[in-house]
Chain A
Amino acid sequence: GIQVEQSPPDLILQEGANSTLRCNFSDSVNNLQWFHQNPWGQLINLFYIPSGTKQNGRLSATTVATERYSLLYISSSQTTDSGVYFCAVAPFSGGYNKLIFGAGTRLAVHP
């Protein structure tokens, strides 16, 4: 099946710093989403981005489908950005919704 690799596995930042999280996937996809899991375990969708670039406030994401990777940018980080960031993809062979998750990037933002 499709492999989803996220890097780095862990990231520690000072408040105000910028960061880039990466997601590599091993096959063509027709769905790619980024999620944030907060320290209480709640999963929130950040972006639906099978290709192209999107921005939402301090967060932005870019997916280069032909090269099989996606990047999540966090600018001017805040302590509330702490948690785990997951990339999830659906391969063309599995339909749009059968999302396979990476292992995540655990982010800690210190004041």
Chain B
Amino acid sequence: NAGVTQTPKFQVLKTGQSMTLQCAQDMNHEYMSWYRQDPGMGLRLIHYSVGAGITDQGEVPNGYNVSRSTTEDFPLRLLSAAPSQTSVYFCASSRQGQTPGANVLTFGAGSRLTVL
């Protein structure tokens, strides 16, 4: 059981380049989300999804796109990278509902992105 898997772990981009951060979970969780963490700060929600085909914006969505074509995968796309997007990105997932263990976030290991 791998949990939440993020790739790549490290990436360096030049300003204006595009890339996709991958996130996959094997727990059949309905809810998936992307956060960014900047030095000395808490996590800020970028985008989230409550199921395949459904996505919505979080606190800081500008400059990022997401899609959810399957339950397992939730990629985060940077269309034109900017230095302000230098950060550590975390993907998280949870089961939804009212049963024990639902709505508890499980995080991936993080992806460190540097934009020059």
Q: Mark B39-53, 1 if CB is under 8 A from A, else 0.
A: 011111100101000
Set of chain B residues within 8 Å of A45, measured between Cβ atoms: 104-106
Contact indicator A33/B42 (Cβ below 8 Å) = no
A97 touches which of B88, B94, B109 (Cβ 8 Å): B94
Number of B interface residues, CB 8 Å? 26
**Given the interface contacts A33-B104, A98-B48, A102-B42, does A41 sit within 8 Å of B110 by beta carbon?**
yes
- State whether the Cβ of B22 lies closer than 8 Å to any Cβ in chain A: no
Distance in angstroms from A52 CB to nearest chain B CB is: 14
Residue among B42, B50, B104 facing the most chain A CB atoms (10 A cut-off): B42
A-B residue pair count with CB separations less than 8 angstroms: 59
- Smallest CB gap from A37: residue in B: B37
| CB of B107 within 8 Å of the partner chain | yes
Known: A43-B90, A95-B50. A101 touches B103 (CB 8 A): no
Binding site for B on A (CB under 8 A): 1, 4, 31, 33, 35, 41-45, 48, 86, 88, 90, 95-104
Query: Could you list which residues of chain B lie within 8 angstroms of chain A, going by C-beta atoms?
Result: 31, 33, 35, 40-45, 48, 50, 58-59, 88, 90, 92, 94, 96, 102-107, 109-110
